[in-house]
């Protein structure tokens, strides 16, 4: 698994584990939703600044985005039901979206 695939795996794993939709993660980290989708599918090569913002919203160290999965780990599945509206209330973007 290359670095881009590790980032893709871990961003989705952490996002789903925290029950955060891709739309919310994208908005709270100031990343375009389509770009986040490409990151999660290992099609984009994000900068360290983008990784830092994603890690900040996910509340992990940037190094956690490069964690190697165990051989028996299942690939992270997307959240059920497609788009979600769960708001985390931490960023001004989330507050504006609730209006």
Domain CATH code at residue 20: 1.10.260.40
Instruction: Say yes or no to pLDDT of 68 above 60.
Output: yes
pLDDT band at 94 (very low <50, low <70, confident <90, very high): very low
**Digit-coded pLDDT (tens) for 8-47:** 999 999 999 999 999 999 999 999 999 999 999 999 999 9
- Within 8 A by CB and 6+ apart from 75, the residues are 9
Give the domain range for residue 53: 3-97
Specify the range with the lowest mean pLDDT, choosing from 20-29, 65-74, 82-91.
82-91
| ∠ CA 34-95-38, rounded to 5° | 10
Question: How many domains in the chain?
Answer: 1
């Amino acid at each position: 698994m290359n670095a881009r695939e590790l980032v893709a795996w871990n961003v989705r794993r952490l996002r789903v584990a925290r029950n955060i939709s891709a739309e919310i993660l994208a908005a709270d980290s100031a990343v375009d939703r389509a770009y986040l989708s490409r990151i999660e599918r290992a099609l984009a090569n994000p900068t360290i600044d983008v990784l830092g913002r994603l890690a900040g919203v996910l509340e992990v160290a940037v190094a956690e985005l490069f964690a190697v999965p165990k051989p028996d780990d299942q690939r992270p599945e997307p959240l059920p039901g497609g788009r979600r509206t769960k708001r985390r209330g931490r960023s001004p973007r989330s507050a504006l979206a609730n209006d």
